Amino acid sequence: SQEEDWQSNWKPFFQPIQIGEVLEVTPPWLSDQKSSNRTRILIDPGRGFGTGHHLSTSLALELLESLLKTYSEKPQWLLDFGTGSGILSIAACKLGCQKSIALDYDEGSMSDVVRNVQLNGLENQIFPMQADQTCLSKKFPVIISNMLLAELKRSASDLAYSLEPDGTLLCSGILDEQVKELEETFRIQDFVPSRNLTREGWSAIEFQRAFSKLATTIY
């Protein structure tokens, strides 16, 4: 099939990539190669978006890594909203999170997530779920979402609802010129930006609730 041809032609270009201070994303067919002493994430690209080669994914990973460094005890749970390949859930657990829910509306990406979770031996920590429009009733200390602006705006109230009062929301997938619009969207939900990573036209933003203990230190 065309898709198989495309994938086999593409394979040579998917090389290991180092992200942030400790992470390295590697395709499974190169997993035998000795690499650096970095924390390795194995990703079989499949259809699910997220190999770390796109800036929105690498910015999300960097923001996640630096956030998790600030915890003396790592969060019990994380919600990965719009998981794609599952890469952010896998990174979160490898960086010390206990468990992650990998949520996606796209049925097709679920098999990719399951495969990538297995490749990394994290079946007991990551729970792939196909989302419907009803929001999760569980509250999370950390939510990460790497989606396009339109999807982030559409999901803003769900994201706000699912975050613990002192939780942190990480958003990636937006262009620099969309930052103000996203910040405005979340200001309506009582969130303030606490950090911003920008590179080559892409941005990722960390949000806290305006009334949380964490946010008051910023003003």
* Range in 18-32, 139-153, 203-217 the model is least confident about: 203-217
Burial class (CB within 10 angstroms; exposed 0-12, middle 13-18, buried 19+) of 103: buried
Please check the confidence at residue 211 and state whether its pLDDT lies above 90: no
Please check the confidence at residue 51 and state whether its pLDDT lies above 80.
no
The pTM of the full predicted model, rounded to 2 decimals, is 0.90
Q: Flag whether pLDDT at 135 surpasses 60.
A: no
Question: Which amino acid is located at 100 in the chain?
Answer: S
CA-CA distances (angstroms) from residue 188 to 107, 140, 153? 31, 20, 11
pLDDT over 90 for what percent of the chain? 69
pLDDT at 2: 60
Write out the two tokens for 102: 């990998």
Q: CA angle 132-48-160, nearest 5°? A: 40
